[in-house]
Structure 1
C-alpha cells in the first residue's frame, strides 16, 4: 500500500509541473470592401447614393408599397429599410401627415430604448436640395443601431432603419456598424427628390 502511495505522489507532482494557459476568446476577422458609390435608378421619387457592394431589393414584406426598398449588404447581414410616403396622398393635409410620420419615426427609434445605452438625435439640413430630417444613433445592444427620416416638409417623407440580421452583441457587431454608418450618412447627404 505504501508503494502505491509513493507512486501516486510522484505521478501527481510530475503531472502538475506543466502550466496550462487557456486561449483567449476571439472573433472572426471581417474583411470589408473598398468604398465606392452609385446613384440609385430614377424610378423612385427620391434619389441617393448607395455602396457598390450593396444591392437594392423590393421590400417583400410590403408588396403594395412600390417605393419601399431594402438596401442589402449580404456579406455583413445588413439591411437598410427605406420606406417612402407622399404627404399629399394620405387623406390629410401635408402638415398633419408630416407631423404624424415624424412622431411615428421617433416612437419607432425610441422603442429600442429598452436595450439601448443612449439615443443621440442629430438634425440634418440640406436647403439646396430641400432635404431636412433627424438621425437617431442608437447605442448599445439594440436591434437597430441607426434610424432616420428625411422630408421636404410639403410632399416627400422618407424613413430609413439600419438592421444587422444577427443577435445584437455590440462588441462583435461594432466593426460592421462602424463600417456601414458612413454609408448611411452618405445616403442621407446625397438624397434629393425626383
Structure 2
C-alpha cells in the first residue's frame, strides 16, 4: 500500500471519533465607556448638562440633537410651550413610547420628580429590538415641556447595542436631573 493511502485511511478513522460536544455559554459583548465629563448646554427655554463626548447640534430654538458619532447614536430633544394643553402633551409622550411596544420586549416607566427645580416627568426604558431604546418627557406643569428620544443609526439589534444603550440612558437621566427652566 502506498503511504499516502495509509495516511488517508488513518486520518479517516481518527476523524470519526465520537466526542462530547458542549454548547458555548451565552455571552454578551463587553464594551466599557469612560465616565463622561459634562458641559452646560443653554437654549432659549432651558439649560441642562450634556456629555462632553456628544456633539451638540441646535437645529433651532426648540430642537437639539446630541450626536454620539462613535456609537452611531443620537438623542433628540424637543421643546414645546404648554399653552393650556399639558394633558395632550403628556398623552402624546405616552403614545410615542407606546408605538415602540410592538417591537419591544418591554417598556419600563420611571416617574421623575425634582421639586426644588420644578421638573416633573417620566423616563421610559425600552428593551428589545425597538427603534428607540429610551424616551422621556419633563415639564414644570405650567409653561415648559421637553421630550427626549434615543435612536441608533443602525438596525436595532438589542443584544449588540445594549452596552451603548445603557450608557446613553444614563446620559438621558443626567439631562433630566440637570434640567433648569429659564
TM-score normalised according to structure 1 size = 0.79
Please say if 1:37 is aligned against 2:38. Answer: yes
Asked if 2 retains the 8 angstrom alpha-carbon contact of 1:39 and 1:48, the reply is yes
State the shift of 1:80 in Å: 0.5
- Give the paired residue count: 175
1:37 Cα offset (Å): 0.7
| Cα separation, partners in 2 of 1:15 and 1:71, compared to 1, 3 Å | same
Q: Detail structure 1 runs of 4+ shifted over 4 Å in the superposition.
A: 6-10, 26-31
Which residue of the other structure, out of 56, 75, 82, is the alignment partner of 2:77?
82
> Equivalent residue for 2:177?
189
**Structure with the larger strand share:** 2
Aligned to 2:131: 143
| Runs of at least 5 residues in structure 1 that lack an aligned partner in the other structure | 60-64, 89-93
Aligned to 2:149: 161
The two structures have a TM-score, normalised by structure 2, of 0.84
Of 36, 46, 64 in structure 2, the residue corresponding to residue 69 of structure 1 is: 64
Q: How far apart are the structure 2 equivalents of 1:116 and 1:132?
A: 25
Higher helix share: 1
Please tell me whether residue 50 in structure 1 is matched to residue 17 in structure 2.
no
- Quote the RMSD (CA, aligned, Å): 2.7
Deviation at 1:31, TM superposition (A): 5.5
Which structure 2 residue ranges, 5 or more long, are not aligned?
none
Question: Do 1:33 and 1:53's aligned partners in 2 also have CA atoms closer than 8 Å?
Answer: no
